[in-house]
């Protein structure tokens, strides 16, 4: 009987990709905390995951030499500008404390998803060995 990994893993594959992309966005915000005029951006994780469930979107190929891959594309993960709680005089909207908090929260979510997937794979390996 063939294994359908989409059903076995659920939305966790997509969650990892979204969380990785969010880590990149938050890292950019932190790196540009002192850049005048920089506007902080983020991904609405819940919205993207909700919109992606049930649909496996193909990744956007920018070159014919890219391998065919499946998963979320960058269009499904639009970065949105954050509304600053207290904008600075130079136009920068990065709140370093908020960014660090968001980064930590996202890292915990990423590690939790990885842990869950590891347990899923270990369960499948155990099932294969017992046959």
Spans in the chain with pLDDT lower than 50: 55-58, 67-75
In the prediction, which pLDDT does 4 show? 63
Other Cβ atoms closer than 10 A to 26: 25
Residues whose CB is less than 8 angstroms from the CB of residue 66 and which lie 6 or more positions away in sequence, other chains included: none
Long-range contacts, 94-97 (Cβ 8 Å, 24+): 94/29, 94/30, 94/32, 94/33, 94/38, 94/40, 95/40, 96/30, 96/33
Closest CA to 19 of 106, 98, 104: 106
Q: Where are the domains of the chain?
A: 10-130
């Amino acid at each position: 009987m063939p294994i359908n990994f989409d059903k076995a893993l659920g939305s966790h594959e997509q969650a990892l990709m979204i969380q990785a992309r969010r880590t990149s966005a938050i890292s950019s915000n932190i790196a540009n905390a002192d850049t005048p005029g920089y506007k902080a951006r983020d991904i609405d994780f819940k919205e993207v995951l909700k919109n992606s469930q049930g649909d496996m979107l193909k990744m956007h190929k920018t070159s014919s030499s890219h391998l065919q891959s499946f998963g979320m594309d960058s269009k499904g993960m639009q970065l949105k500008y954050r509304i600053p709680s207290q904008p600075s005089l130079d136009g920068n909207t990065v709140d370093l404390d908020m960014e660090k908090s968001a980064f930590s929260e996202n890292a915990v979510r990423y590690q939790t998803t990885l842990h869950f997937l590891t347990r899923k794979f270990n369960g499948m390996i155990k099932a294969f060995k017992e046959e």
